[in-house]
Amino acid sequence: MLRLVADGFDTEEIAQKLSYSQRTVKNVLHDVTSRLHLRNRSHAVAYALKHGLI
């Protein structure tokens, strides 16, 4: 999901591409940012890039 966020897709577009509900996408992104103590989606993408995850 972070790769799609990094590519500029919004929640609705990500949900459609992955066949998930928008709520699921929001929950997954919220869980990632919470667990890693990140501020927002942009911070999560930067973290993932820095650590070679995407």
HEC letters along 34-54: HHCCCCCHHHHHHHHHHCCCC
Q: Is the pTM above the cut of 0.85?
A: yes
Q: What is the pLDDT of residue 40?
A: 96
| pLDDT tens profile 2-53 | 999 999 999 999 999 999 999 999 999 999 999 999 999 999 999 999 999 9
CATH of domain 2-50: 1.10.10.10
